[in-house]
Amino acid sequence: MCVNMGRNRAYQPFKVREDLQKRIIGSPTLYFRELPSTNDMAKELALRGVREGTVVVARTQNKGRGRQERKWISPEGGLWLSILLRPRTNPKHAPVLTLLASVAVAKTLNRSFQLKSEIKWPNDVLVNMKKICGILTETRTKRETLEFAVVGIGINANFAVDALPAHLRDSSTTLQEELKREVERETLLHDLLLEIESSYKVFVKGQFTHILDEWRGLATFLGAEVEVESHREKVEGRAVNIDSYGALIVKLRNGTLRRVLSGDLRIIEKSESR
């Protein structure tokens, strides 16, 4: 359970380091006051050979990124972090790392704050249908091998939704808005890294089914009528499943199944049964 220790208290993610020492994820955890983007810093460190599991945390980001170079607004009070991973796996499975991270965030929010969190493909965690967390996984590959992956996680924690630009306020929320109090980010970070550690061990064994099953359980949009827009096309139909490459399976109106690898999903109508 996270106790109330908010923005005005010293934020010391380095405290996390000690008890995560024997683990993969979070050892070390590097803390920065301000960075352009924790993903960029983690990638730079990866190229310099730092070890798997290194976590980069920044109090604020001035060039936080989403997919396709979209802006990720990262005010003080948020939890902005990136995890460096070096799994020996086919790069095609890297999108499962995003699924794994979204499951870990949703489970941690559910468990620590009793917040009913849901997952929206491909990389959002929602509370009350509003985005509270976004995930950006970036990879570097050499031929058919994955050299490294950086999983960036942004959780809107201790700030009011007013800290976001006006056009995002209706579609976004923060832990502070939902709980009407601030949370202890050190504990949140600690619990999240433990959760990620346990699923990452499953991931490296290639046991994607377990991760996908957990994801399906939290992906409440499955079964809904959706529209998925990518730079290539717009697909409309029923979201029916996800495969072990992180692709969404959409059943089109004519009954054929379409595999969608990336895009932005909009829920048109939720299914009655979920």
**200 versus 272: smaller Cβ distance to ligand BT5:** 200
**38 versus 158: smaller Cβ distance to ligand BT5:** 38
- Which 46-105 residues touch ligand BT5, going by CB under 6 A? 61, 64-67, 70-73, 80-82
Q: Which of 156, 158, 199, 220 binds ligand BT5 (CB under 6 A)?
A: 156
Give the full edge-to-edge strand order of the sheet including 79-85: 29-35, 55-61, 79-85, 145-155, 130-142, 124-127, 117-120
Rounded to whole angstroms, the Cα distance separating 128 from 150 reads 28
Min separation Cβ 21 and ligand BT5, Å: 23
Min separation Cβ 155 and ligand BT5, Å: 8
Min separation Cβ 196 and ligand BT5, Å: 14
**168 versus 202: smaller Cβ distance to ligand BT5:** 168
Element (H, E) at 102: helix 95-113
Maximum alpha-carbon separation in the chain: 57
**2 versus 56: smaller Cβ distance to ligand BT5:** 56
Question: Do residues 235 and 227 make contact, with C-beta atoms less than 8 angstroms apart?
Answer: yes
The answer to whether residue 128 forms part of the interface with ligand BT5 (CB under 6 A) is no
The residues, ordered by sequence, that sit 6+ positions from 79 with a Cβ below 8 Å of its Cβ are 57, 153, 154, 155, 157, 185, 188, 189
Q: Which of 26, 152, 246, 263 binds ligand BT5 (CB under 6 A)?
A: 152
Strands (E), 54-210: 55-61, 79-85, 117-120, 124-127, 130-142, 145-155
The answer to whether residue 37 forms part of the interface with ligand BT5 (CB under 6 A) is yes
Question: Do residues 198 and 184 make contact, with C-beta atoms less than 8 angstroms apart?
Answer: no
The answer to whether residue 123 forms part of the interface with ligand BT5 (CB under 6 A) is yes
DSSP 8-state class, residue 24: S
The answer to whether residue 43 forms part of the interface with ligand BT5 (CB under 6 A) is no
* Site of interaction with ligand BT5 (CB under 6 A): 37-39, 61, 64-67, 70-73, 80-82, 123, 131, 134-136, 152-154, 156, 164, 168, 172
